[in-house]
Amino acid sequence: MEGFWILLMVIAAVGLVGWSTRKRSAGEATRGGGQGGRRAGTTAAGDGARETRRQAALSEKLAPLRHRWRQLREEREAGVRSGELASWYFDAPTDKQLAVIREAGWPLDPRGLTKGMASEVIGMDYPAEEENLEVLRFFRQSTAGATQTTARIAAVELLADANRREQWEARPASKVLRESLRLIGHKAAKGLTEREGRKQLDAFLLDADDEGLERLLLEAFEGAWGDLEDRDVREDLGIRKPTPRQVADVILASARGRSAEELAANPIMTEDVVEALIEQHPSLAR
C-alpha cells in the first residue's frame, strides 16, 4: 500500500500544476475582449472542456483512496479491524462533510461514503501536517504533492512495521523536544533519543502543577511553535520560520522576573513571541 500513497502524492502535485496552468490560460483567453455570440459560445465550450478535465483529474486523485476503501470494507466484512482507524470511521458522514465535498466538486456518490472516508476526501485539499511529513522524511520518502490525507496514511503505514517503528522511536531527539526539556529545567543529554526524551517529558507532565512556572513556559512554547509551523500563520504575522531555539530563548527572556501567577494571568502569546523574534533577529521579518 505504501506505493499507492507515494503515487497519489505525485498525482496531486501534477494536478496542482495542471490546474494552475489551466487557470492562467483561462485568464489570458478572457482578457482578449468580446467578439459577440461566437466568442461567448467558444468560451462556454472551453469552460466545459476544462471542467471535464478537472473532474478527470479529481477522479484520478481519488483512485488510491477508492482502492483503500475497498480493502477496508473487505477487512471489516472478514472481521478484521484496522488499528489505524478511529472508532467512528464507518459511521455515516455528517451533513457538513457532504456539503464541503459537494462544494469542492469531488466526483463521489455520497451514498457510499462513511464519516472516515469523507474526512479523508476533505483532507486531500489541506496541506500535510508536519508530524507526518517528519516521518516520511525520516524514511526518505517523497513528500512532493503530499496532502493531509496522503501524508497521514503513508506515515501510519510506515510505522505499522515493527522494525520501522523501532527506528523511528530510537531516532535522535528532535530540536523541538530538546527545547521543551530545556524549558522545564531538564538538560538533554548528548545522544538523547526521541523515545527517552518523550518519557522525560511525559513524566514531567504527569506530576507538574498546571499553574507551575515550567508548565506555563512549556505551554507558551508549544502554542507559539505550533502556530509558527503553519505557513499561513507566519505570512499573516509577517515572519519567516524561526528555529525552536530562537522561540524558546524569547519565551525564557519574556518570563524572566515574572512569577507563575503573573504568567498565568498574562500568558506569553504568539504575537508577543513574534514581536520579540523580529526585534532580536531582523532577518526573520518578511
- Structure confidence at residue 9 (pLDDT): 59
- Structure confidence at residue 22 (pLDDT): 38
- Structure confidence at residue 2 (pLDDT): 54
- Which value, in Å, is the radius of gyration of the alpha carbons in the chain? 24
- The residue with cell 508549544 is 222
The answer to whether residue 53 scores a pLDDT higher than 90 is no
Confidence of residue 54 (pLDDT cuts 50, 70, 90): confident
Check residues 162 and 33 and name the one with the higher pLDDT. Answer: 162
Burial 214-223 (b: 16+ CB within 10 A, else e): ebbbbbbbeb
Of 53-57, 63-67, 271-275, the least confident: 53-57
pLDDT tens by residue, 2-44: 555 555 555 555 444 444 443 444 344 444 445 555 566 667 6
DSSP character string of the chain: -HHHHHHHHHHHHHHHHHHHHHHHHHHHHHTT--BHHHHHHHHHHHHHHHHHHHHHHHHHHHHHHHHHHHHHHHHHHTT---TTS-TTTTSPPPHHHHHHHHHHT----GGG--HHHHHHHHHTTSBPPHHHHHHHHHTT---TT-BHHHHHHHHHHHHTSHHHHHHHHTSBPPHHHHHHHHHTT----TT-BHHHHHHHHHHHHHHS-TTSHHHHHHHHHHHHHHHHTSHHHHHHHTB----HHHHHHHHHHHHTT--HHHHHHSPPPHHHHHHHHHHH-GGGB-
pTM: 0.65
Q: Distance between CA 250 and CA 218 in Å, rounded?
A: 12
pLDDT tens by residue, 109-151: 988 899 999 999 999 999 899 889 999 999 999 999 999 999 9
Question: What average pLDDT is seen over the chain?
Answer: 86
Q: Distance between CA 163 and CA 217 in Å, rounded?
A: 35
Output 212-219 pairs: Cβ under 8 A, ≥24 positions apart. 212/260, 213/255, 213/259, 213/260, 213/263, 214/183, 214/184, 214/185, 215/184, 216/255, 216/260, 216/263, 216/264, 216/267, 217/183, 217/184, 217/251, 217/252, 217/255, 217/263, 218/180, 218/183, 218/184, 219/267
- Structure confidence at residue 232 (pLDDT): 83
Of 2-6, 153-157, 169-173, the least confident: 2-6
Of all residues in the chain, what percent carry a pLDDT higher than 70? 84
- Structure confidence at residue 79 (pLDDT): 86
- Structure confidence at residue 52 (pLDDT): 82
User: What is the average pLDDT across 266-286?
Assistant: 96
C-alpha cell of residue 139:
524514511
The answer to whether residue 204 scores a pLDDT higher than 70 is yes
- Structure confidence at residue 40 (pLDDT): 60
Please answer whether residues 147 and 12 qualify as being in contact, where contact means their C-beta atoms are separated by less than 8 angstroms. Answer: yes
- Structure confidence at residue 84 (pLDDT): 73
Of 24-38, 82-96, 155-169, 212-226, the least confident: 24-38
